[in-house]
Amino acid sequence: MDDNLKTIERRLGVEVSYRGNEFTVVGKPLNAKAVVDVLKNLYIESQTVNGKDKVITAEMVHLAILNANCLEQDQTNDNLTSELSNHIDKKFDDIITIKTQRGTIKPRNGNQQDYVRNIITNDISFGVGVAGTGKTYLAVACAVEALERQEVRRILLTRPAVEAGEKLGFLPGDLTQKIDPYLRPLYDALFEMLGFEKVEKLIERNVIEVAPLAYMRGRTLNDAFIILDESQNTTVEQMKMFLTRIGFNSRAVITGDITQVDLPRHQSSGLRHAIEVLQDIDGISFNFFQSKDVVRHPVVARIVDAYDSHDQKMNREKHAKKIAQQAAEKNANKTNDEQSD
């Protein structure tokens, strides 16, 4: 019932009508050009794979809208179609893809492409940013591809076992059952890319190891692809310990969101500290994701922006209050000095 077209119309402020395979877009020039970009992208996405037409989902429409690239304002409508075709063809040629046993994974925006490129070309890569930007998922995908290409001999996934603002108390079961809840997102990504049975077999053979960060101390990790997830919850000492575990022919990816730290107030985040200390070190890359890079439901990006705006407002108020307090203290001291004289 044309739901996808209605979404495009609503999000980009245009009117779209069609007859057969001919579309007419009415709206502001830049918006109309963006819609043409979206439609051509979705057409490419819908091409037949293994004899079956690919269904365009609401998520794909959302991502196509995010990725829409408007042409320069001074371009004329006469050369719009050819320019867009060349632009889209080049864009799709430049996309880095990750090939796994279960299919091909494509970065969904420019920042994700840069992130994957940095993972491939650097020994240590940091992916820092808000939730829903694909930091962990793409890192796991790169690890799976490296394992299947035999570039590494094992994958090691780890994250600090820190309670997210809740006191969980005693957890029943053996060690694996106790730490599983903390590592579940990593398992989910592995199951999607390799299948449940293969992941279980690789875990049994220790080709894939999933463990809490505390178990990394004292180890040297050679021929491995190592992922540290939720790194904002590491202490400075834990981060240093993890980074010094990396051995020969190993790659490490560190992901985290510095706006969601669950450490006690008196402890500094190891991720924040690492960003300051390692920014200019060769062989280490940093990618910073923002709300515009969110690939989940559109409301997630708006939630992130709302929290950022609120934090900025509170910081401004706190700064203004501090200045007013200092001015009041200065005036009080001046009055006391005058009275003393």
Whether 314 maps to a domain, the answer reads: no
Instruction: Tell me, yes or no, whether 50 and 133 share the same domain.
Output: no
pLDDT at 76: 39
Q: What is the token pair recorded at 193?
A: 């890319």
pLDDT at 173: 65
Cβ atoms of residues 273 and 114 within 8 Å: no
Q: Which residues partner with 154 through β-bridges?
A: 224
pLDDT at 125: 94
Q: What is the token pair recorded at 125?
A: 């890569």
Q: Which residues contact 255 (CB under 8 A, 6 or more apart)?
A: 126, 127, 128, 135, 136, 139, 227, 228, 229, 230, 231
Separation between Cα atoms, residue 140 and residue 308, nearest integer Å: 28
Q: Which residues contact 112 (CB under 8 A, 6 or more apart)?
A: 133, 134, 138, 293, 295
Instruction: Tell me, yes or no, whether 187 and 174 share the same domain.
Output: yes
- Only one residue has tokens 């059952």, namely 177
Whether 318 maps to a domain, the answer reads: no
- Dihedral of CA 60/62/65/67: which sign? negative
For residue 75, report the phi and psi dihedrals to the nearest 5 degrees.
-75, 145
Q: Which residues contact 277 (CB under 8 A, 6 or more apart)?
A: none
Whether 77 maps to a domain, the answer reads: yes
Whether 13 maps to a domain, the answer reads: yes
Q: Which amino acid is at 134?
A: G
Instruction: Tell me, yes or no, whether 62 and 123 share the same domain.
Output: no
pLDDT at 21: 81
| Bridging pattern class, strands 124-129 and 251-256 | parallel
Whether 330 maps to a domain, the answer reads: no
Cβ atoms of residues 174 and 271 within 8 Å: no
The last residue of one of the domains, among 47, 67, 94, is 94
Instruction: Tell me, yes or no, whether 14 and 73 share the same domain.
Output: yes
Instruction: Tell me, yes or no, whether 73 and 173 share the same domain.
Output: no
Instruction: Tell me, yes or no, whether 87 and 120 share the same domain.
Output: no
pTM score, whole prediction: 0.63
Instruction: Tell me, yes or no, whether 271 and 135 share the same domain.
Output: yes
Domain count, the chain: 2
Radius of gyration of the chain (CA): 25
DSSP for residue 78 = G
Q: Which amino acid is at 281?
A: I
Chunked into runs of 10 residues, the chain (341 residues) has average pLDDT values of 82 84 87 87 74 74 69 39 46 66 77 89 90 87 90 88 55 64 80 88 89 80 90 90 88 90 84 90 89 68 72 79 81 71 63
Whether 336 maps to a domain, the answer reads: no
Instruction: Tell me, yes or no, whether 49 and 160 share the same domain.
Output: no
Separation between Cα atoms, residue 61 and residue 7, nearest integer Å: 8
Q: Where are the alpha helices (DSSP H) in 3-157?
A: 3-12, 29-45, 58-67, 80-94, 110-121, 135-148
Instruction: Tell me, yes or no, whether 131 and 63 share the same domain.
Output: no
Tell which residue, 156, 92, 151, 91, has the closest CA to residue 120.
151
Instruction: Tell me, yes or no, whether 141 and 245 share the same domain.
Output: yes
Whether 308 maps to a domain, the answer reads: no
**Angle, vertex CA 215, rays to CA 211 and CA 217, nearest 5:** 140
Tell which residue, 265, 239, 136, has the closest CA to residue 189.
136
DSSP for residue 218 = T
Instruction: Tell me, yes or no, whether 37 and 175 share the same domain.
Output: no
Whether 340 maps to a domain, the answer reads: no
CATH number of domain containing 151: 3.40.50.300
pLDDT at 78: 41
Segments forming the whole domain that contains residue 59: 3-94
Three-class secondary structure of residue 125 per DSSP = strand
46-56 burial, b for 16+ CB within 10 Å, e for fewer?
Answer: eeeeeeeeeee
Instruction: Tell me, yes or no, whether 28 and 146 share the same domain.
Output: no
The last residue of one of the domains, among 65, 94, 123, is 94
